Structure 1
């Protein structure tokens, strides 16, 4: 692993560490989403996203925990604000809203983020912002929503090459494993059939993500990277039986998680 890749791996673990501390004050929360998307977000913020030029859309609103942590690490959000996550009156709500800082849009109802990204990309074309990109994080559970595929069809038809979608395919949603709720596979073939530039990678492999995003940036078509992940990756102390969608994190387990991540980052 080269130095640049090692720095992204460390950023991913710092995202995890922030997320553990953000959830620990409540004893439960959306930690699993930060664990599964940590490498995705680290690679996006560390290699692709250009503040003031590009846009970030977090389609599943509960994933903002990872986006807040990444933004704090990259100087786009005051790290001290992370301590207010999920508390009454805080701008850093547990499920993102139109007021969420450091990102351009997050959605409440699932399945809407890609439509918003399409709108941003079309706006950029009309305004002559030919260099701008819109990066949108989508969850695999959202692929059960028809609106996602309508947006995918529209983006490909109009050749909106400024869109990069990242699907966090962690096979987890509130009702259980995605594969048991609605079959969405073969995911890559579906995107390909809609006319997108498609890549399917290990979402915890930084080098694979870097390579995929480099190709996505160069594509003249809308591009999607399906990142295969898990909601417990990066924390060996979590019990194997834990519900990765909404993690219970009592004080002792939170201490173990912090200690594990701090030791790895030392």
Structure 2
């Protein structure tokens, strides 16, 4: 029998909105250091979603009260980095990221700490978040929220839209989704594999509240998430992002889905982010 990961303790007070960009920079810096140990890895996902995880961990996710689902398992690197910034993981944990036997695996599993669930196969996380939201309602946990980070490539999965339809049918106003729309998946740009646009209109057609924002504008993102958790309908925030954001030193044409980070580039990336965080 697989045991669920222990629920993390409550973190500190919410981060002021003005400090969210700095938190996002530190999330990127931690992710660079985690990937640098291996010379390659899922850095692009951390670069695109850093502001999103800064907003979620910094201001809305209340461990022990809310449920946080990270649907794409390879995004777990950003969740680990954000959790460390909020005191839910320590530096010793992060130094084992991706190593054999570590509880911080490169792709999240049912044992991953600092989240309530992460999924391997894409497209399943929204179903899990819907289950959490409905269970909290049935159990009378009126203060609890189900929060989910999903990706735009997952919109090609039919299961996701079944979950969206179910959430609207049950009017799950305690469910909020942050969608990292970075136009990147393993086979290439999402728009070239199977276009998912217009994203917001599709969600609205399923009865959801939908807002489309610049995912690297932390203040705009925070405003949209604040609305999402306050509305009485299931809500999604579409965050338009880039898998290169925050690192000017990355070579042109780098594969944002799985980035090679040799020592020289890792040193340059670290120096660039440390200068921003100074």
Normalised to the residue count of structure 2, the TM-score between the two structures is 0.94
Among residues 117, 129, 137, which one is paired with 1:117 in the alignment?
A: 129
Mapped contact 1:73–1:79 kept (Cα < 8 A): no
Q: Unpaired segments of 5 or more residues in structure 2?
A: 1-14
Q: Show the counterpart of 1:29.
A: 41
Mapped contact 2:152–2:182 kept (Cα < 8 A): yes
Give the whole-Å Cα distance in 2 for the aligned partners of 1:130 and 1:260.
44
Among residues 236, 247, 254, which one is paired with 1:242 in the alignment?
A: 254
Q: Show the counterpart of 2:90.
A: 78
Question: 1:58 and 2:70 equivalent?
Answer: yes
CA RMSD of aligned residues (A): 0.9
Give the whole-Å Cα distance in 2 for the aligned partners of 1:209 and 1:42.
10
Q: Show the counterpart of 2:229.
A: 217
Q: Show the counterpart of 1:11.
A: 23
Question: 1:159 and 2:163 equivalent?
Answer: no
Q: Show CA shifts across 1:28-53 (max 9, x none).
A: 00000000000000011111111111
Mapped contact 1:171–1:177 kept (Cα < 8 A): yes
Aligned with 1:149: secondary structure? helix
Question: 1:89 and 2:129 equivalent?
Answer: no
Among residues 153, 166, 179, which one is paired with 1:141 in the alignment?
A: 153
Q: Show the counterpart of 2:142.
A: 130
Mapped contact 1:201–1:228 kept (Cα < 8 A): yes
Alpha-carbon deviation of 1:210?
Answer: 1.1
Q: Unpaired segments of 5 or more residues in structure 1?
A: none
Deviates more, 1:74-83 or 1:191-200: 74-83
Q: Show CA shifts across 1:185-234 (max 9, x none).
A: 00000000000111000000011111101111110000100000000000
